[in-house]
Amino acid sequence: MKQIVAGFIWFFMGYLAIGQSIYEYGAMPSVNLTKKLENNWKINTKLEMRFPLAKGVFKPPSQEQFPYKLYDIVVTGTKKIGVQTSLGFGYGVRWREGLFSQVFAQQIGIKQQIQHLRLAHRIAADQRIQSNRSTVWRFRYRWRTEIPLNGHRLDPKEWYFKLGNEYLNAFNDGAYQLEIRLTPVFGKLLASKSKFELGVQYRLGKLGTGSAKHVFWMQANWYSTW
C-alpha cells in the first residue's frame, strides 16, 4: 500500500509542476498472447495500435490536427529466476507516420504479496533505433496491482480492478524527458487463461521541457495464455 500512496504523491507533484500544456486523446486497443515453455520460460507477443482522435492546447483555445496511426509489435521472452522474480528480453518494431523503428528491451519483474493485495513491480530499459535519427534510451519503473471485486481470489467469469503507475525516463541527444503514466482498468476473467480489460491510460509527458503534455488513451485489452 505504501508504494501506491507514494506513486500518487509523485504523480500529482508532477501535475502541479506544469505550466501551459497541450493535450491529445484517442483509442489504444491491444492483443496479448502468451505461450508457456519448458524450464520456466514463456513468450509474450503483443500487438498494440493507437488511433489519436484529436490534439491541441488547453490555452489558448485548441487547434485540432489530423491524427496519425501507430502500430507496435513486441515479442518478449521471460524466465523465472526466483520464487517471485523473472528476467526478460524483448524485441519490437513500430510503424508511425510512415516511419519504421526497432526496439530492444530488457526487464526485471518482481511480485509482492501484502496481505490480500498483490503488487507487481517492473524495472525496464529499452533502446529505440530509427534510421537517420539518434537512438532513444529509456529507463522505466512500473508498479501494478490487481484487485478482485468478488472476494479475495479471482475466479473465471468474475470482474477485477487493475491499477498501474509508471515512470518513464527518456534520453535523446543529451535531452531528458520524464513521462508519468496512470492506468486504471476494469477487467473480466473470461476463462482460466483468457481475460478482457477496458479502461483508460493517462500520460503526463514532456516534463522538464517547459510545456507538459496530457494524453488520454481509451484502452481495450485482450489476454490469452496457453
At 130-187, the pLDDT tens digits run 988 899 999 999 999 999 999 888 899 999 999 999 999 999 998 999 999 999 999 9
**pLDDT at residue number 20:** 58
The C-alpha atoms of residue 148 and residue 170 are separated, in whole angstroms, by 34
The C-alpha atoms of residue 179 and residue 177 are separated, in whole angstroms, by 7
Q: Give the number of C-alpha atoms closer than 13 A to the C-alpha of residue 126, restricted to the C-beta side.
A: 20
Structural domain spans, the chain:
2-225
Is beta strand 213-225 parallel, antiparallel or unpaired with respect to 22-36?
parallel
Helix (H) or strand (E) holding 9: helix 2-16
Give the pLDDT band of residue 115 (cuts 50, 70, 90). confident
Kindly report the average pLDDT of the chain as a whole number. 87
**pLDDT at residue number 62:** 47
The C-alpha atoms of residue 113 and residue 185 are separated, in whole angstroms, by 20
In terms of DSSP H, where are the helices of 41-84?
Answer: none
**pLDDT at residue number 61:** 44
Pick from 6-20, 33-47, 79-93, 100-114: least confident: 6-20
Assess contact for 140 and 125: CB atoms under 8 A.
yes
Q: Is the peptide bond before 184 cis (omega within 30 degrees of 0)?
A: no
Architecture of domain 2-225: Beta Barrel (2.40)
Pick from 100-114, 158-172, 196-210: least confident: 196-210
Q: Which three cell numbers stand for residue 184?
A: 486504471
**pLDDT at residue number 67:** 58
Q: Which three cell numbers stand for residue 42?
A: 514463456
- pLDDT exceeds 70 at position 29: yes
